[in-house]
Amino acid sequence: MNKKIVIAGSRSGVGKTTISLGLMAALKKRGLKVQPFKVGPDYIDPGFHTLICSRNSYNLDSYFLGTAGVKEVFSKNSKQADISIIEGVMGLFDGKGKNSTSSTAEIAKIIKAPVILIIDARKVAQSAAAVVYGYKNYDQKLNLKGVIINNISSPHHFKLLKEAIKAKMADLVVLGYLPKNQNLELPERHLGLVPVSESSELKAYSQKLVKVMEKYIDIEQLIEISQVESEDLFKDNLAAKSIKKDMNKDNKLKNKNISREKKVKVNSFSKNFKEKIESANIKIGIASDQAFNFYYQTNLDLLKAAGAQIVKFSPLTDSRLPEVDAVYLGGGFPESFL
Report pLDDT digits (tens) over 134-184.
999 999 999 999 999 999 999 999 999 999 999 999 999 999 999 998 788
List of E strands, 58-180: 58-60, 83-91, 115-120, 144-152, 173-179
Residue 10: closest CA among 153, 112, 127: 127
Task: Give yes or no for a contact between 35 and 50, defined as CB atoms under 8 angstroms apart.
Answer: no
More confident residue, 107 or 302: 107
Determine the pLDDT at residue 194.
54
Per-residue confidence at 193, pLDDT binned at 50, 70, 90?
Answer: very low
CA distances from 154 to 64, 103, 151 (A): 43, 33, 9
Residue 271 in 3-state DSSP? helix
CA distances from 57 to 7, 39, 48, 125, 197 (A): 15, 11, 9, 36, 15
pTM confidence score: 0.84
CA distances from 53 to 15, 131, 224 (A): 19, 32, 20
Beta bridge partners of 178: 150
Please determine, for residue 239, whether its predicted confidence score (pLDDT) is greater than 60: no
Beta bridge partners of 266: none
- State the average pLDDT for the chain: 86
Task: Give yes or no for a contact between 266 and 249, defined as CB atoms under 8 angstroms apart.
Answer: yes
Residue 69 in 3-state DSSP? helix
CA distance 120 to 7: 14
Per-residue confidence at 66, pLDDT binned at 50, 70, 90?
Answer: very high
DSSP letter at 11 equals: S
Determine the pLDDT at residue 188.
55
Residue length of the chain: 338
CA distance 143 to 110: 11
More confident residue, 289 or 240: 289
Domain boundaries, the chain: 2-228, 269-333
* DSSP strand pairing (144-152 vs 173-179): parallel
CATH class assigned to 2-228: alpha beta
